[in-house]
Structure 1
Amino acid sequence: MTELYVAPFGDDSSPGTAERPFATLDRARLAAQDLSGDVVVQVRAGTYALTEPLRFAEADAGRDGGRVVYRAHGYGTAEREEVVISGGREITGWREQDGVWLAQVGDLDTRQLYVDGRRAERAAVDVLPGAVTATETGYITDSLEPLSWHSPSDVEFVYRGRYPWTEARCAVAAVSGDHEDGADGSDGEGHGGDGGRAGTGGDDGGEIAGRDGRSGSTVITMAQPAFGHAMNLYNSAWAGETSHGPGLPTRLENDTSFLTEPGTFTLDRSRPGRHVLRYLPRPGEHPERTRVVAPVLETLLHLTDVHDVSFQGLVFADATWLRPSRTGGFLHYHGSGYYEGGPVERVTIVEGEAWVTIPGKSASIPAGVTVNGGTKVWFENCRFTRLGATGLEMSKGVDVGVRSCDFDTLSASAITVTGSRDALIEDNWVHHIGLDYPGSPGITLADAVDCTVSNNHVADVPHCGIVITPGRGTRILGNLTTDTMKVLADGGGIYVAGPQGDSSESGAVIRGNVIKDTRTPYNFGLYTDYGAAWVTVEENVVTRADSTAVLQVAPPLENVVYRGNFWDADPVGSDTPPEGVVYEGNVTLADERKLESATADIQSRAGLLRRRKADG
């Protein structure tokens, strides 16, 4: 085995020894290319601030049967050092004005901020003021309050629950005062005309253009193409009522006038190259003693077609995702998918009564750490935190895995595995994710073959805990989900959709999982949905859900077996199981103590392996 060393006090012109370490991981990566057999890169304690993503390609793979391991120094011992791979920039040079901290940040663009490691929320209000009417291009309100927005083109509207499982975002282009002749004050290109106002903010405020003293209404013009796409996507009928477009916003974010709650921030980008960051501090915070970090990079680590590479004991932190800002919106549809335009399809839910439109195709939220085409690539005992999109995505991998890692404070999902074979997701703790994109599941398998998700704990998430889309031979074993579905509806602690094989031998097995506290109304703790086929659901425990499970869905379930499960309430449709479902040997115990006693063995084996080991 060959050891290389990296340390914050090192020098990339050094030989990479313990006495004379490299300064950067990228230099160690290059040095490892010239070595055969097992190579261990020992990374000493500190924060390694990246100015560009770390990129690994085929030349960085293990050679001659060896592995290349990037490891926190002291890994596996009580003396393990904390190593942070950061895509953030520390903000300094604060000045105070009326209790608000201000910093000139040049061309910095970000959607997140962290203060002494704690997430700061974007400043927001919950109501678009006045009597509001939606139009094809935005809104008209009888309130003049939007004319006082400091930088309207930085304001973002959030739309929660247009469909029960969605939360979308669209940016404002301009606001304008309505003319006496009925014109909207726009010059036709999204800028405020005379009597209108677009992105005209300044460093410290300034006069409000367009406030000319006349009474009337305010026209809010939304950014395109996002708002047009939203009008195209969000259309449905239910219970005799139809809806068109995203509706009224449920939250408005990122304007100085919204900055009233301590611990919130805004970013004013109205002057190119002279962006201003504002932060309203919490009690006890002081600009000279508080560390404020703005994520800058969107990708921290990207691996393409590598093999025999591992990462052990590292922290990946401080990344953002700017696409929603660049395109003026994030049009969420389901899970990690969002709509970029193009055809939409109309799906009938109840003939002649209920239908919904869905994207013809969707894009997926990216990840701060990505593996594309890897073989025998592993992440062990790492932490993924303060990331503005998904934590880790592994696509087109073979024999890849994520073991004993922590995922927290993420804007989207924790782990996404797509188009992979023989992947293992085991013993990971996933919690407090989906903070900006709450439709995001904790863990997702998509188009996966012979992959296993076992003994993970998914907790405190806004929608589904674990999601399985069409695949083959998937195993979901011994997981624990708690406090899922805390924000959006129509999902579950474990959600399975589509065909999972072509026989019972090649199908999915959902066994020994414990699903507790599935929170929102209209959810199913263990949810086989939308044409799920060749699925065996056995020896699971579901308690404290709106509905424990559902057997009657559309398209219908085919070759699905529910056997030997324990619930505190009968699943929907279990009294008359449909033709494609076998329902046998399941036990309903409404008494919580009796259910806990009857399922003690299953519950003792579900959840994190490392906690069981720690308990002896």
Structure 2
Amino acid sequence: MPEVRFHVSPDGQDDWPGTLEKPFATPKAAQDAVRAVTAGMTGDIVVSFTAGVYHLEEGLAFDDTLADSGANGFRVIYQAQGYATAGRQQVVLSAGREITGWSADAVGVWTAPIGDLEPRRLTVDGLPAARASKNELPGIVTKTATGYVTDNAEPQSWPDPSGLEFVYPGVYPWSEARLAVASISGDDSSTTITMAQPAFDNAKSLYDSKWYGDGGDGIWDGLAAPSVLENNVAFLTEPGTFAVDRTEQGKHVLHYRPRPGEEIGKTIVVAPVLETLVSGQGVHDLVLRGFTFADAGWSGPTRTGGYLHYHGNARYEQGEFQKIDLGLDVGYVHVPASPVELPANVRFASVSRVTVEDNHFTRLGAGGLSIEDSTDVEVRANVFDEISGSGIAVHASTRISVEDNLLHHIGTEYRGSSAVLVVESEETTVAHNEIHDVPHNGIVITGGKRAKGTQVIANLVERSMTKLMDGGGIYLSAPQGASFAGGAVVRGNVIRDVLTSYNFGLYADYGAAWITVTGNIVHRADTPIVLNVGPPMENVAFVGNFWDVRPDGYDDPPKTVTVAGNTVLPKETFEEAVQADPAGADILARAGRRDLKR
């Protein structure tokens, strides 16, 4: 048979045949039709979606055992109607639901019943709303074995204290923790805040560290007091903020302070419901292109009493802790013995020959996209923004291509998240992506026994490290292979404006090995590279780069580290000077997304 086409429209019906004239109404009906014909494919199967918002009642799950894969050398393609033409239509796959039943109180705050929902994100007329927050606990605060005591009585007036979440930016310099409150009590002169267990005790164990070189006793107590308090109706002072009151079980109430011009009955408010928008297990020869994936949530911190972040996407939930000695001149930290990775709202596992192209991932409460234990996956020309966690995460996979994507304003809630994360993968290419306005690292490449052949090429990373410290535009750790021939290559990237203190444009850290860093540009970072880390790096070459500061230790690097042929240009005239250099001009011209004419 030739190419088969099915159509889906908000105006369709699932008992129709899925033709252009009589389309299906839901993605699930189209999927069932695809499954019925994949075995006999003699051409691609294309499922086209007419413009509209498709509110999913359950996640769209692709499973090879259920005939969701392409066959006989052909592909199953799900796409927006008119994809790659001037008539391409706007198609949203939404995991949220519209909130109705609003009323306004005397001070203009809207309220609506939401049953057992506990949204951590909210979308109002397509724009994200923030959880109501307050900076710092009032009064003089003392940490105790079970929480905090303050000499101020104000917290006792805050309703639904068990809905409160405390935020600790810089609990480690590269980490941000979130912990739930259990109860608040006190009298006229003192307030006792009891934190949820076992999360608080686990946090005290995880964030136990000492830094030998900082003077004083070297003790770092990132839990001394929270910097930000979130999710209480008492904090609803700013337009565009919300809080969830869970006082009555199963009868939660959403409170929202509207922005100017928003009106009940006209303004559309959407809360996330599903945690998985799209998933794929074992599928192959599948294409998703031209969609907006939006309004999914993640309730992990609510379920576990907090978000005990360590590094990147890794967090602690249960198990033992490991003490890591960083050297006599540095100190020690504790890490989870069995870290858990932040999930994604769109995820694929054990897939091959899958393409995710020219989609928009937005308003998502976990990570955007994750790929695990997979082969030959292309993630190309997508946009990722307004995402609570990471943008793209690749784990234990082979030949994954992450190219020409735009990622910005990710890590909005879990701020240790990076825009792109690659963990122990082979032959992965991260190239020509544009990344800006991210809270920590732009790109993270984590090595290990399996890692080899990673290429990080011609990416443009601007305004990284906007919230946390000790990171950089591009961060690499652990061995990346067994030789320079099979190791990681970081070439032709442009890194500008690494913002918070103690940062490095190109950061090879924590036993990094077999890495070639060549032909990159770093401008306005604390320092472009660091040469002495713990555990020390080995077999790393920094050759032919341009930067505006001479790194410490440049003339006396570690024995197996090569630093040669790099050019330092004046910081004040750096842009003009690097553009005037033929090699620098070539790097600038090639970095960032290419015009793909889609």
**TM-score, length-scaled by structure 2:** 0.95
Shift of 1:348: 2.3
- Cα contact 2:327–2:535 (8 A) shared by 1: no
Q: Distance between the aligned counterparts of 1:314 and 1:411, measured in 2?
A: 19
Q: Secondary structure at the match of 1:610?
A: coil
Q: Of the candidates 63, 88, 94, which is equivalent to residue 102 of structure 2? A: 94
Q: CA offsets, 1:321-348, max 9 Å, x none?
A: 1010111100011111111132212222
Q: Of the candidates 144, 149, 152, which is equivalent to residue 161 of structure 2? A: 152
What's the counterpart of residue 52 of structure 1? 58
What's the counterpart of residue 78 of structure 2? 70
Q: Secondary structure at the match of 2:555?
A: coil
What pairs with 1:104-123 in structure 2 (closer than 5 Å)?
A: 104-123=113-132
- Cα contact 2:326–2:535 (8 A) shared by 1: no
- Cα contact 2:391–2:420 (8 A) shared by 1: yes
What's the counterpart of residue 4 of structure 1? 6
Q: Of the candidates 182, 190, 193, which is equivalent to residue 217 of structure 1? A: 190
Q: Distance between the aligned counterparts of 2:270 and 2:182, measured in 1?
A: 28
What's the counterpart of residue 139 of structure 2? 130
Shift of 1:572: 2.8
What pairs with 1:178-577 in structure 2 (closer than 5 Å)?
A: 215-238=188-211, 239=214, 240-244=217-221, 246-351=223-328, 354-470=331-447, 471-577=451-557
Stretch of structure 1 that moved more, 482-491 or 136-145: 136-145
- Cα contact 1:147–1:176 (8 A) shared by 2: yes
What's the counterpart of residue 593 of structure 2? 608
Q: Distance between the aligned counterparts of 1:168 and 1:112, measured in 2?
A: 18
Shift of 1:162: 1.7
| AA matched with 1:236 | S
Q: Secondary structure at the match of 1:528?
A: strand
Q: Distance between the aligned counterparts of 2:330 and 2:535, measured in 1?
A: 16
Q: Distance between the aligned counterparts of 2:181 and 2:116, measured in 1?
A: 20
Q: Distance between the aligned counterparts of 2:220 and 2:381, measured in 1?
A: 45
- Cα contact 2:134–2:228 (8 A) shared by 1: yes
- Cα contact 1:233–1:245 (8 A) shared by 2: no
- Cα contact 2:504–2:529 (8 A) shared by 1: yes
Q: Distance between the aligned counterparts of 2:435 and 2:415, measured in 1?
A: 14
- Cα contact 2:172–2:222 (8 A) shared by 1: no
Q: Distance between the aligned counterparts of 1:216 and 1:582, measured in 2?
A: 62
Q: Distance between the aligned counterparts of 1:486 and 1:587, measured in 2?
A: 27
Q: CA offsets, 1:3-54, max 9 Å, x none?
A: 0001111111111100111111111111111221310001111100011111
Q: Secondary structure at the match of 1:26?
A: helix
Shift of 1:133: 1.1
Q: CA offsets, 1:121-157, max 9 Å, x none?
A: 1001001011111111111111111110111000000
- Cα contact 1:102–1:279 (8 A) shared by 2: yes
Shift of 1:451: 0.8
Q: Secondary structure at the match of 2:456?
A: strand
Q: Distance between the aligned counterparts of 2:485 and 2:237, measured in 1?
A: 58
Q: Secondary structure at the match of 2:30?
A: helix
Pairwise CA RMSD: 1.3
| AA matched with 1:34 | A
Shift of 1:529: 0.8
Q: Secondary structure at the match of 1:409?
A: strand
Q: Distance between the aligned counterparts of 2:547 and 2:222, measured in 1?
A: 39
Q: Distance between the aligned counterparts of 2:239 and 2:222, measured in 1?
A: 34
| AA matched with 1:570 | R
What's the counterpart of residue 31 of structure 1? 33
User: Structure 1 regions of 5+ residues with no counterpart?
Assistant: 178-213
What's the counterpart of residue 595 of structure 1? 578
- Cα contact 2:453–2:487 (8 A) shared by 1: yes
- Cα contact 1:230–1:245 (8 A) shared by 2: no
Q: Secondary structure at the match of 1:266?
A: strand
- Cα contact 2:55–2:93 (8 A) shared by 1: yes
Q: Distance between the aligned counterparts of 2:364 and 2:466, measured in 1?
A: 20
The question of 1:79 aligning with 2:87 is answered yes
What's the counterpart of residue 172 of structure 2? 163
Q: Distance between the aligned counterparts of 2:330 and 2:472, measured in 1?
A: 25
- Cα contact 1:47–1:84 (8 A) shared by 2: yes
Q: Secondary structure at the match of 1:609?
A: coil
- Cα contact 1:404–1:610 (8 A) shared by 2: no
Q: Distance between the aligned counterparts of 2:330 and 2:270, measured in 1?
A: 51
Shift of 1:487: 0.5
The question of 1:18 aligning with 2:20 is answered yes
Shift of 1:350: 4.0
Q: Distance between the aligned counterparts of 2:152 and 2:318, measured in 1?
A: 32
Q: Distance between the aligned counterparts of 2:54 and 2:395, measured in 1?
A: 29
Provide the identity percentage.
50
Q: Distance between the aligned counterparts of 1:352 and 1:560, measured in 2?
A: 22
Shift of 1:353: 6.4
Q: Secondary structure at the match of 1:338?
A: strand
Stretch of structure 1 that moved more, 73-82 or 562-571: 562-571
Q: Secondary structure at the match of 1:430?
A: strand
- Cα contact 1:342–1:360 (8 A) shared by 2: yes
Stretch of structure 1 that moved more, 341-350 or 226-235: 341-350
- Cα contact 1:383–1:405 (8 A) shared by 2: yes
Q: CA offsets, 1:84-131, max 9 Å, x none?
A: 000011011111002100111112221110111111110010010111
Cα pair distance change 1:153/1:438, threshold 3 Å? same
Q: Of the candidates 581, 586, 591, which is equivalent to residue 561 of structure 2? A: 581
- Cα contact 1:159–1:247 (8 A) shared by 2: no
Shift of 1:587: 0.8
Q: Distance between the aligned counterparts of 1:242 and 1:540, measured in 2?
A: 37
- Cα contact 1:295–1:319 (8 A) shared by 2: yes
Q: Distance between the aligned counterparts of 1:449 and 1:349, measured in 2?
A: 28
| AA matched with 1:610 | D
User: Structure 2 regions of 5+ residues with no counterpart?
Assistant: none
Shift of 1:352: 7.2
